[in-house]
Chains A and B, each alone.
Chain A
């Protein structure tokens, strides 16, 4: 089992819809979770991060962590065509020399039609 699992989609919704993107993780030691957005032919950019359980809201975006079920979610309200991108969940892993790198899910490709 991969450490971070994510359904790759694709997911197609009409403009204005509420979108739910989800990941599961296997290691209960993971504490810190991020959502990255990646437009076609671009590098990922950090969208939101959360620490521990609960919700975090930023405009139309809400990130949610449920540690009991090892489940993380990103909700997008009033989705726009400009939200069309691949969304990747990630969590830091400790490297051998005390640095950290990121473990990513496969990414979910979202398409919002006008």
Chain B
């Protein structure tokens, strides 16, 4: 079946602009995660959605970052007033349920100029 998809695959934006990144999880997966991978760094957890529960936002680095998820489907990560340090690959993952294997999408490569 289809894996996790993300769009756009690449995004170049000017400092100060807002960006929206989209994630389509595997159908039927109740849990969805966003991670950030900066150059030379490991993946950093950002936010987690489980079913209809309130999301866990404990990894978001600042209030410029927010995310939404519609039911158990698409999620959007929004970064407002982008800064150069936001340049990274943003990866989305989904899992069937809490604690199950996470399947990653290919990521969105964000470059802030």
Contacts and interface: CB of A to CB of B under 8 A. Distances in A.
Given A97-B56, A99-B56, A43 B42 contact: no
Interface of B: 4, 31, 33, 35, 40-45, 48, 50, 53-54, 56, 58-59, 91, 93, 98-99, 101-107
Contacts of B102: 46, 102
20 contacts: A4-B42, A6-B42, A8-B40, A42-B107, A43-B91, A43-B105, A90-B43, A92-B99, A96-B56, A96-B58, A97-B50, A97-B54, A99-B48, A99-B56, A100-B99, A101-B56, A103-B45, A104-B42, A104-B43, A106-B40
B98 A100 contact: yes
B88 to A, nearest CB: 13
Interface residues of A, number: 26
Contacts of B103: 45
Contacts of A107: 42
A29 interface: no
Contacts of A97: 50, 53-54, 56
B45 A99 contact: no
Given A43-B91, A43-B93, A101-B59, 8 more contacts: A41-B106, A41-B107, A44-B43, A98-B98, A99-B98, A104-B35, A105-B42, A106-B41
